[in-house]
Amino acid sequence: MQYFTALKIGEKRVRAAQELLSRYTGHAMPALALRDNKTNNWEPVGEETLYAVVKEPSGYMIAFCDSKGTAKSIAQWFTEDVKNEILARIRKEQNMQEYLGKLVLPI
């Protein structure tokens, strides 16, 4: 796929994930629009949306990612109680599954 075509598709998916995550967290940031596939072919992030949680000393980060773990949107930092409330609402209202693999985050 051409770079600009993949980027436009990826940006649309990132925007949708960011809007959805913002609905639950109050504020979310965009993450990655393109997936690293170790080839010269450009690939947008996947269409599917799963949630992932990262624990850091600062608290918990919630990310929406595709099935390969590429983060589309992130929101940070939450206490454990707030994180649990947010995730309960996401699971209930969106019936979203958790991604348990290695999450790919923007650096």
- Three-class DSSP labels, 3-72: HHHHHHHHHHHHHHHHHHHHHHHCCCEECCCEECCCCCCCEECCCCCEEEEEEECCEEEEEEECCCCEEE
Residue type, 48: E
Q: What is the Cα–Cα distance from 10 to 44, expressed in whole angstroms?
A: 4
What is the pTM for the complete model shown? Answer: 0.93
pLDDT in tens, 5-59: 999 999 999 999 999 999 999 999 999 999 977 777 899 999 999 999 999 999 9
Residues 6+ apart with CB under 8 A from 55: none
- The domain spans of the chain are 3-94
Residue 84 pLDDT level (bands cut at 50, 70, 90): very high
**Tell me, what's the pLDDT at 14?**
98
